[in-house]
Every structure is written in C-alpha cells, then in structure tokens.
Amino acid sequence: MTEPFDAVDVIRAKRDGGAVAEPALRWMIDAYTREYVSDAQMSAFGMAVLLNGMTREEIRVMTDAMINSGERMSFAGLGKPTADKHSTGGVGDKITLPLAPLVAAHGVAVPQLSGRGLGHTGGTLDKLESIPGWRAALTNDEMFAQLRGSVGAVICAAGSGLAPADKRLYALRDVTGIVEAIPLIASSIMSKKIAEGTESLVLDVKFGSGAFMKDAERARELATTMVALGTDSGVKTTALLTDMNVPLGRTVGNANEVRESVEVLAGGGPADVVELTVALAREMLQMSGVDADPADALADGRAMDVWRNMIRAQDGDPDAALPTPRETHVVTADRDGILVSLDAFEVGLAAWRLGTGRARATDPVVHAAGIDLHAKPGDAVRAGDPLFTLNADDAGRFDRALDALAGSYEIGDTAPEVAPIVRDRITAA
C-alpha cells in the first residue's frame, strides 16, 4: 500500500513552527502505531512539539487519533451516572483509595482505571496490592458487573486495548527528553480517559516540588488544555489545581498508605487527605447531578461499607493484616522549634530508595517499605521527638534514604504560612 503522507514532511512542518494538517497528523499517529513510522522519526516529531508547541486543534486531533488507535468503552448500559478522577501524581497521594468508594456510596459508578508507579511517585495499584489476595487485573465483564451491582466502584488495571498509540509514545517520551511537552502529556492522559468512556472526569493537576509540574502556571496550562480536550470530546471535565510541595497525609509508601486511607474512610485520618478527598468527591457528584455532602458518607460509614465490598469483589481481604517492615529507623529532631518546611520530592526520593517504587517497569515494589511522618509544617517539635520513621525490609537501604532526607526539612522558630491545598478550579471556557 502507498502511504498518503511522509513522516519527514510532517516533522519539517512542526520543526519550522507550522501547524500540521489534520489528515497528516492522524496518519502520523496511525502509522506510528502500525510501526511504519519509526521511533527515531516520532522522537524528532516529539522534540519539534516540545520546542514549538501545538494549537488547540492539533492537540484535539492528535488525542482523537490516539483514542481511535484502539477500543473505546461505554458505560451507557449501567443505568447510573459514571465519574472518574485522574491525578498527575504526587508524594503520599493515596486519594483514589478513599475517593472511589466515597463517590460510589452516592449511587455514582466509579470506573477508576489506574496504573503503577515509576520513579518517586507511587502507583495506586501498587498500594492496593499490599492487601492480601487483591487482584488488579479484571476482565471487562467483571468490571461491568462490579459497577452495575451493589459495589458501584472498581479500581483496576487498564486493558491493553485502550489507546495503544499512547503506550508506544509514552515509552518513547521517557527516553528522549520530551516528557515535559504539554501537548504530549495532555493527549496521553486524555486519550486514555476519554477512551475509558466515563461521562464526567475531574482532574487533580498538581504543582510543586513533588509533582510532575514544578511550576503552578505550567500546571494551569496543562489543566486548561486537558479540560478543553475532555469538553471537546463530550466528557464533562473540570480540574483542581493542587499543591504538592509537601507530602499528602502522614504516610508515603504502599501498605502504610492503605492504612491511612482506611482511617479516612472510618471518619478520621489526616486533615489534608480528608480535605482533598472531599473536594474531589464534590466535583464528581456535582457533575453527576447528585446534590449531597460527601463528608456525611465518611462520618456515617457508608463509604467504608463500599470500600470493604470493593476489596472483597476483587478477591482481597479487607480484614487481613497488611505487610509490616522487617527494619525501621527513626529520625529525631535535633532542636526545639517548629517544622518550617518539608520537601515532597526529597521525601518521595527517600521512600523510593527504601523500596516503595521501581526504577524499571519490571521491578518489584516492597509493600512494607515507606516513611511515616510524625510532623508536618507548622507542628511544634522538641529535641529528640520523632520526625520520620523509615520502613524497609533491608537495613542497607537506610543510608541512601537518609541522604535524601537530610535536606528535606527545616526546623525554625516561626510558624510558616500554611497554603491551601486546592489553589484553583478550572472549568471549560
């Protein structure tokens, strides 16, 4: 078959700052999925996108082409509204765990297709696999049955048929220095979420030291782009711009984050985790036409009931003991004062060095590894008080983790100004 376009022409058009015509751009994505366009050619095109950007129309076309590279799911037959959440990732970000059952407790189906961690940010599936027996891989029939029935929520791995073009391009971006290109980030996230078939979507777009986007304005640009893509595709989409300069909650890891999530579902837990969970739940319920205060379902146990049913439905035991570390190490305060700062990236890096994450996709994670935080910025501490407990299965990991933590915090004499977690709400123009 004679190809209608040439990859070199498409690369040149974007290299020279022009817009790529829709037919050529759709062909480029399709030809790359078919492996007609090489990795070298697509990386050259990606670098041109990083340097010169894309118009909103180009991003829309590219996202749609990536969606069309695979299957598209539909939840129209469930008989109830569907809502999903996507986070751009952070340190201690266990929000999906309490959020999915909280929203489902109000009669909204929550198909949460999640991923695994790579680098310092943990993956939702890695956390849940701390629960004995819990299973991430579900068939479409199992997922639909769980959503249709009394559970109403599912957290599972995405199938291989959703946006296969993105799977190839995602791996390429990581090794060619083009990860930061907002058009490529936005099309990657939204192609999967739109293909998933949910009716509404709330995006938790983070900024700060522990986030993918360090700068708030770049995060805002990404959020605005993704909201537009969802809206253009008929998915009701909003975004919350949230602060990730300080780790969320008081645990960073896998099993310890599950424990903290259960505390939230039981009506307790750290204030920041509760605040963000409830804020995202309100967005999801509002877009689904449900007038309710989600905080009530945390207080009265309804969300906990859904959690337990959701874990059981995926062969997990909600009452089973979670993994505990073989080794622990406590870091204490060296003076009286107030914890002034706590850098999310450095804490995440320390946790990663303890075994919470992976350097390669095939690496295992240590479910018992992680860090328990005994103080957050604004808390008063005395000399000798515990600041962190490091958890690992191998004591040999502590030294490198301690190196990362050494510059992650400051104890001073004046309480810092505590910034709100949710900085802005972004809706379709």
274: part of which helix (H) or strand (E)? helix 271-287
CA-CA distance, 412 to 428, in Å (whole number)?
A: 43
* Residue from 14, 26, 86, 116 carrying the catalytic annotation: 86
Our answer to whether residue 192 is catalytic in this structure is yes
CB proximity list for 277: less than 8 A, separation 6 or greater: 95, 98, 99, 102, 264, 294, 298
Q: What whole-number distance in Å separates Cα of residue 125 and Cα of residue 97?
A: 10
Q: Which of 106, 127, 173, 236 is catalytic?
A: 173
Set 69, 114, 130, 188: catalytic member: 188
Q: Among 64, 84, 93, 166, which one carries the catalytic annotation?
A: 166
Question: Does residue 9 carry a catalytic annotation?
Answer: no
Name the nearest CA neighbour of 241 among 220, 212, 213.
220
Whole-number Cα distances in Å, 214 to 218, 220, 244, 290, 345: 8, 11, 9, 34, 10
> Is residue 234 exposed (0-12), middle (13-18) or buried (19+ Cβ within 10 Å)?
exposed
Q: What residues contact residue 407 under an 8 Å CB cut-off, 6+ apart?
A: 343, 346
* Length of the chain in terms of residues written: 429
Determine the residue type at 145. A
Q: Strand 409-412 to strand 337-342: parallel, antiparallel, or no bridges (unpaired)?
A: antiparallel
Which residue is catalytic, options 14, 26, 94, 192? Answer: 192
Asked about 166 being catalytic, the answer comes back as yes
Active site residues: 86, 166, 173, 188, 192
